[in-house]
Amino acid sequence: MRRGITAALLAGMVTLGAAPSFAGPPLVTDDTGTVLPGRAEVEFNGGYAYDKESENGVATRSEVFDGEMKINTGITKDLGVSLTVPYLFSERVREDGQLAGTSDGFGDIALELKYRFFERDGLSLAVKPTILLPTGKYRAGLSDGRWGFGGALIATKEFAEGKYLLHANLGYEHHSFRTDIQRDENRSDLWSGSLAAEVQVMKGLTLMTDFGVATTRERSTSELCSYGLVGARYEVSPFLDVNAGVKVGLTQPEDDLALLYGVVLKF
């Protein structure tokens, strides 16, 4: 899947009832929170990404509209599971103003477990193993065509009884490929790190910022992908959240601009 696709970047869950405070969309950085057992949350996240590059005298511009549905539920107080189904509505690539390629379809489904193994004095730690299922549209470049796996170490720190939150992630993904050409063009092992902060400015309204770096998938460059993000989340009711954010690329391999938006239904 092209780096322009933002379907996998919207990770996180939203608080329920007496559960610990934690982050959610539109943050890229995950948190240690889990949904309470017997409850469920369904996220509908969308995005628009724009990128413009110039190489060897050829100007390339890409525009992507994508989304995902993510289902979160709790198994125990400290153990949660989520299933993410991404979909690419439209990707258009133009070279010197001429349409060079289009793509659409489902991406690979991600199945995640999150276990919070430590919690004391406002600090909590969690691990999140992930399995990538090869369900995407392979011929459109939306799937590796093989099973993948990964994981993340997550830390969350609360201040002022949850009014201020800090989150940190260290992540890893391994991708397998069907062909030698794919293996020659793409890195199999990807690392990432990110930091995010939240502040509740009024009842129901939370502002946030997020910064991260990651290994660039394409072997043609050694430069890291790096981004900055600002966003907001508003709790309309105990059963509905809305969110929006702007993500800006800080290095050349990252998309120049991405607009993120979504809703969370809580049951």
The domains located in the chain, with CATH, are: 40-266 (2.40.160.40)
Q: Give the pLDDT of residue 141.
A: 87
Q: Give the pLDDT of residue 222.
A: 92
Q: Give me the mean pLDDT over the 101-130 stretch.
A: 96
Residues 53/60, Cβ–Cβ less than 8 Å: yes
Q: Give the pLDDT of residue 250.
A: 97
**Residue 218 DSSP code:** B
- Mean pLDDT, the chain, integer: 90
Return the residue matching tokens 């989150």.
Answer: 167
* 161-210 pLDDT tens trace: 889 999 999 999 999 998 888 899 999 999 999 999 999 999 999 999 99
In whole angstroms, what is the distance from residue 23 CA to residue 34 CA?
10
pLDDT at 7 over 60: no
In whole angstroms, what is the distance from residue 140 CA to residue 93 CA?
13
Q: Give the pLDDT of residue 22.
A: 52
In whole angstroms, what is the distance from residue 42 CA to residue 34 CA?
13
**Residue 107 DSSP code:** -
**Residue 20 DSSP code:** P
* 23-73 pLDDT tens trace: 678 999 999 999 999 999 999 999 999 999 988 889 999 999 999 999 999
Q: Give the pLDDT of residue 19.
A: 37
**Tokens at residue 263, please?**
């809703």
pLDDT at 157 over 60: yes
Residues 64/201, Cβ–Cβ less than 8 Å: no
Q: Give the pLDDT of residue 97.
A: 87
In whole angstroms, what is the distance from residue 145 CA to residue 245 CA?
31
* 73-111 pLDDT tens trace: 999 999 999 999 999 999 999 998 889 999 999 999 999
pLDDT at 9 over 50: no
From the DSSP assignment, how many helices (H) and strands (E) are in the chain?
1, 13
Using CA atoms, how far residue 159 sits from 30, 122, 196, 197, in Å, is: 17, 7, 14, 11
Burial of 165 (0-12, 13-18, 19+ CB in 10 A): buried
The whole-model pTM stands at: 0.87
Residue 255, SS3?
A: coil
pLDDT at 3 over 90: no
Q: Give the pLDDT of residue 17.
A: 31
